[in-house]
Structure 1
């Protein structure tokens, strides 16, 4: 995103995912107040929803936002510790003008962020982000009111409405009959209370692990199999039927199975998709991003559905889902998007419910359902963005390294050779660029990775 440098925001990540940074290295009180005042100006006099994850910096950022919004006459629904999808759902359900989720998602504890939410629960569009930055850079904030008629109230009742909306998309009776034993690792984050509440509504016996929401993150916050080694041991000891691991704001979901332990986050979406497509009309559209596994095409083909690939980022997937009237969508990072749920974005509660429903309807254990899908042969690597680094030069090297590939340039560089694809793009949330590679076999992946390495190193 291009921004005027009147204020030095170079230490922040400003993108379609909001604004984020390290608390003591760029996203301090001064910078946070700039964005809070600009957002409060956009929301002047309107109802606004605020949620946060468990990071220690969350409460003071929340109070800063409360002051900015109240001083401009905005009424506030305060949710406290809730997942990002719950905050988005409440904006929609309460017919609020907007909202903010205070969370840096999968980033480490020393990071935090403002995720800006528009009406109907959608993240800010590129145009809305530009409006906010224009207000910030031009210092055209509306003045604080002398007698603002504004108030703060709890949004607890709306949180339960989000849970009910998730339950309505599955067969609650069938799931309850199975009496699933479910292991949950919430990394001490925003899902520590809301997700167990959902599981209890579905009649599950819940084994809680890392569900003390103190924001210290007892394992790496991004729920990859590598980060879940200790949690995997606890899961196997629990003898649970299935396990779920979350990131700090509970919009990413990873599974544990009794035989495999923690599995790739890329399995989450196709399993949930299988449940949805079993009820959907033939020819339905599904949207995934360019960095998401072939597995979703495999499932879609079984149900005669069409797959559309969008740019990376929840807002981009949702935009394409709206345009194509898709019945389902998501991202390979464990992000499941059901348009029938008012969060209409990556929602771990939705993913959990759909996967449990698939198990109940098929009467198959999770290991059998995973084994019914092809093996994943994918590698995700990342490299720091060095000073003076040119992505254009890198893209040219990849074009030369894969001269016969189909080329898509709507989000970095995506190259496809039919049985393999490579996606190179800068991250929206970290100062790095990512290279994601997938092939149909282990040997093909290894050979493709050698070609990728030559492009990066040359």
Structure 2
């Protein structure tokens, strides 16, 4: 779709997760400038926080964005290389008008993105994204000022406030007494400095791996158990009590355990949830998205908590958490959300702190805690949409094949079928659709996946 005579934004991924694309193949300087000018126009001469990950395109995109902001009379609080949750937290703590995280998260290095943040550190809502695009469509940018009064400042002190806010959520003294050895793989991304520093504040001995943010990703950027197989020998050699792997912007967290090695990202949230619910009131509410494992229902039932399912996407989970006054939430991709931390979004520091606190309070190893959770039988698949097939016709095929007991259409198609569920939806971040399946046994999973394949390929 061509929005204006000047910019063709059709090759970009524009969603609740911001705008992202390949450098020079959709997300070039002209497109980045359009979004920079539009965002700057929405900030109304206030202060804007900027953070970025380690991608080589980050510095020049930051310079472009800074120029657009200063030209329209805004001030800039620059954080440099920091996790996405830190950027969000600083927007909240500094009472800024908004912020941008420059990161394409788990996408390859030749991608980059702007993640737009509004007041109080929340990602842009659908309405705010609509306004952002409208400004581009109508070229209704704020005029450049001849004598702008904005300035650039460092947000270093605010980074420390984010770390302190996470520490307040756990028993730091008890964690320090355990003197945990912790392995960290930051994939050379935004968590390379902040996460080891945070662990040292908890009295941990840190074994840093892939914590050199030199603009390359030494392993696949999405921290799945499969992607982390090559890292397992380094973790085992470290003799660490637990390991944590991050994505490039450090809002997703995956664990290593001494016995299992890298485990599914689906285990991160229920382990953190165990720590939170152990001190929460009965009938507490927890929000996860439709693509997140049953494991969270299992943990919540032990504490009398209710699980509510939202649309996929951090902004959607947060919106539901605010609406229901949930005590905790997150996504099965390793995203932990604690509403008591000013990032109020997926935050690796929060996940790390809650899991280490659970180990310290219970006196149990990470392997012992994992053994308390049910086995996980889940498969996450991605497919291009077959030529000539619409998503609607694909959904109809799945419904006729599986005859589900419960259906939700709030986000693609979610079906509950005899102690299992299947979720089919287009990706927010890639030109594909995803099919996620969870069952209660390996045999059921294998049988379900065969039927999924028939739906997709026939």
Q: TM-score by structure 2 length?
A: 0.98
Distance 2:380 2:344 in 1: 26
Q: Which residue of 2 aligns with 1:67?
A: 67
* TM alignment of 1:24-423, pairs within 5 A: 24-385=24-385, 388-423=388-423
8 Å Cα contact 2:4-2:138 kept in structure 1: no
Distance 2:387 2:49 in 1: 38
Distance 1:387 1:71 in 2: 45
Deviation string 1:94-130 (CA, Å, 9 cap, x unpaired) is 0001000000000000000000000000000000000
Distance 2:10 2:112 in 1: 16
8 Å Cα contact 1:287-1:310 kept in structure 2: yes
8 Å Cα contact 2:287-2:320 kept in structure 1: yes
SS of the aligned residue for 1:158 comes to helix
Distance 2:222 2:4 in 1: 31
SS of the aligned residue for 2:25 comes to coil
Deviation string 1:265-317 (CA, Å, 9 cap, x unpaired) is 00000000000000100100000000000000000000000000000000000
Distance 2:153 2:369 in 1: 44
**1:3 CA displacement:** 8.7
8 Å Cα contact 2:4-2:136 kept in structure 1: no
**1:16 CA displacement:** 0.5
Distance 1:3 1:421 in 2: 38
**1:387 CA displacement:** 5.4
**1:455 CA displacement:** 1.2
Q: Is the deviation greater in 165-174 or in 396-405?
A: 396-405
8 Å Cα contact 2:3-2:9 kept in structure 1: no
SS of the aligned residue for 2:206 comes to strand
Distance 2:387 2:112 in 1: 24
**1:418 CA displacement:** 3.9
Distance 1:73 1:346 in 2: 31
Distance 2:413 2:236 in 1: 40
8 Å Cα contact 2:289-2:311 kept in structure 1: yes
8 Å Cα contact 1:286-1:321 kept in structure 2: yes
8 Å Cα contact 1:44-1:69 kept in structure 2: no
Question: Would you say 1:8 and 2:8 are equivalent positions?
Answer: yes
Distance 2:2 2:360 in 1: 50
Deviation string 1:302-356 (CA, Å, 9 cap, x unpaired) is 0000000000000000000000000000000000000000000000000000000
- Runs of 5+ in structure 1 lacking a partner? none
**1:83 CA displacement:** 0.2
- Runs of 5+ in structure 2 lacking a partner? none
Distance 1:275 1:216 in 2: 35
